[in-house]
């Protein structure tokens, strides 16, 4: 039950923060960053689309893995373990830049912390269900490709 409560809190926080960023962006629009924010939005939605198609058999909003679902390590998941969070962070960054105020940036920082917490929680649950995910997690970046040496190609664990 504890995992379900934590999952609900994280999902509710994620959507609340994105909605708040959307409102902050709407009420104090900044056109200075328009080309950059447009690119970030397009990148974010494209990333979400690629992640959606790769994750279809296991897709859910909750960080708790779907019962009986396979570990997905193909498509965009070959490069990033949590591309949906990358897409949401890209969209959130566009909204925060567009809002161009302290509230927008604080909301974005809290969104980053929330999605990082959600990714760590999901990774832990995946290791419990799929022991081979430890190898995947060691060699695939959490949210940003090749960050923190996660693109190493050799290790002492065998490929799965």
- The pLDDT tens digits of the residues spanning 95-129 come to 999 888 899 999 999 999 999 999 999 999 999 99
- The pLDDT tens digits of the residues spanning 5-21 come to 999 999 999 999 999 99
Residue 139 confidence (pLDDT) above 90: no
Top-confidence residue, 154 or 124: 124
Rg of the chain in Å (alpha carbons)? 17
Domains (ranges, CATH) in the chain? 2-149 (1.20.120.1630)
Separation of alpha carbons 63 and 142, rounded Å: 14
CB-based burial, 12-28: b 16+ in 10 Å, e otherwise = ebbeebbebbbebbeee
- The pLDDT tens digits of the residues spanning 59-91 come to 888 999 988 889 999 999 989 999 999 999 999
Tell me what the pLDDT averaged over the chain comes to. Answer: 88
Residue 34's alpha-carbon distances to 88, 111, 123, 130, 135, in angstroms, are: 18, 21, 35, 43, 40
Separation of alpha carbons 72 and 74, rounded Å: 6
């Amino acid at each position: 039950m504890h995992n379900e409560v934590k999952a609900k809190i994280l999902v509710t926080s994620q959507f609340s923060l994105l909605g708040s960023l959307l409102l902050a962006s709407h009420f104090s629009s900044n056109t200075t960053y328009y080309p950059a924010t447009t690119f970030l939005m397009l990148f974010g939605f494209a990333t979400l689309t690629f992640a959606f198609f790769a994750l279809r058999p296991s897709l859910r909003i909750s960080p708790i893995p779907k019962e009986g679902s396979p570990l997905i390590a193909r498509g965009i998941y070959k490069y990033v373990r949590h591309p949906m969070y990358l897409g949401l962070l890209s969209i959130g960054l566009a909204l925060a830049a567009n809002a161009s105020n302290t509230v927008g940036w604080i909301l974005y920082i809290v969104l980053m912390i929330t999605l990082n917490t959600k990714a760590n929680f999901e990774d832990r649950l995946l290791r419990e269900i799929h022991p081979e995910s430890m190898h995947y997690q060691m060699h695939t970046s959490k949210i940003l490709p090749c960050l923190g040496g996660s693109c190493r190609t050799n290790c002492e664990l065998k490929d799965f």
